[in-house]
Amino acid sequence: MLVLALGLGAQAADPIRLQGGLRQLLARYGDQVGVVLIDIRSGRSISQNGDLPFPAASVIKLPIMAATFKEAENRKLSLEDRIAMTENKKLPGSGVLQWLKPNTYTIWNLTRMMISLSDNTATLLLSEKLGLPKLNEYCQAFGLRYTIIKDRTTLVEPPSPEANYTTPQDMARLLLKIYCRDGFADQSVKDMLAFMENQRYRWGICRPLPWRTKIANKTGNLDGVLNDVGIVFTPGGDYILSVFTRGFPKKREAREIINAVSAYVYEAYQPGKIAVEEQKAKMRAKKNAKKRSYRRNQRRYPRRRK
């Protein structure tokens, strides 16, 4: 069931139309897709399957990041403290630490790599530093009612009982707290948003939006699982979008669903912008194709010197 409680800004589409459009986009997928949209100006939200637990994948790194900064604010640790990375701590998957020689890294730098590069080794080091009991205590303190961290590596796949779980609503709520500086110091918020703005995986919420759109997000990717949650900054109003998927045989289909939801919501805040951007992209592609054709012809038929 799609629940609507949204009061959008002057630039936004009719909320009833937005509700109906999302229902049409997602009707055929049942509980395979969960979506939460929060309009930051009003604090109101749209939710479809928003409170259903989904495998978290790397999105679980967001509460680990938030807990790390709260520990620093509470003077339980310093972001300049260093943690040793040894060979036996290296994890496969995303990130760069697995390819580097053993070394020590500051907690601040490990947190940056955990979010911006989705580094699994950095995640393990931070999770071990804080401990699972402390991380889950922070999840409850942040109001993340259905978020459970059992796996320090974030690599355990469902249906294992040791997989990490959360909900689209929990992750959207956490980003709202960060955006509103609710319980976080200004410098902590500045760093956390910078880490998310610079994260490297752009296949989800970011992909269909105009190139210069400011987005602070975090993706998650496991077998049969694709998630993305982010803050999108627009002249028509800032909003938080959380999209979780599971059970799709092909990740391309799940990615395209996330892209479609993101594009539809953005159009509500910035009507016509995506269509304009798509036209510009087509013109650039056409221009680049002409350049490539010219270069090929130059190689095939070089000019003779007079």
**Three-class SS string for the chain?**
CEEEECCCCCCCCCHHHHHHHHHHHHHHHHHHEEEEEEECCCCCEEEECCCCCEECHHHHHHHHHHHHHHHHHCCCCCCCCEEEECHHHCCCCCCCHHHCCCEEEEHHHHHHHHHHCCCHHHHHHHHHHHCHHHHHHHHHHCCCCCCECCCCCCCCCCCCCCCCEECHHHHHHHHHHHHCCCCCCHHHHHHHHHHHHCCCCCCCCCCCCCCCCEEEEEEEEECCEEEEEEEEECCCCCEEEEEEEECCCCHHHHHHHHHHHHHHHHHHHCCCHHHHHHHHHHHHHHHHHHHHHHHHHHHHCCCCCC
Burial bucket for residue 53 (CB in 10 Å: 0-12, 13-18, 19+): middle
The pair of three-digit structure tokens given for residue 206, joined into one six-digit string = 């970011």
98-117 average pLDDT score: 98
Q: Which residue has the higher pLDDT, 275 or 134?
A: 134
Assigned architecture for domain 2-271: 3-Layer(aba) Sandwich (3.40)
Give residue-wise pLDDT tens across range 81-95: 999 999 999 999 999
Q: Is the pTM of this model over 0.85?
A: yes
Give the start-to-end residue ranges of the domains of the chain.
2-271, 272-306
Query: Angle between the 61-73 and 132-141 helix axes, to the nearest 10 degrees?
Result: 90
Give yes or no for residue 290 having a pLDDT over 50: yes
Residue 150, C-beta contacts closer than 8 angstroms, at least 6 positions apart: 132, 156, 161, 162, 163, 164
Confidence class of residue 15 from pLDDT cuts 50, 70 and 90? low
126-152 average pLDDT score: 98
Query: Which pLDDT does position 10 carry in this prediction?
Result: 39
Give residue-wise pLDDT tens across range 181-211: 999 999 999 999 999 999 999 999 999 999 8
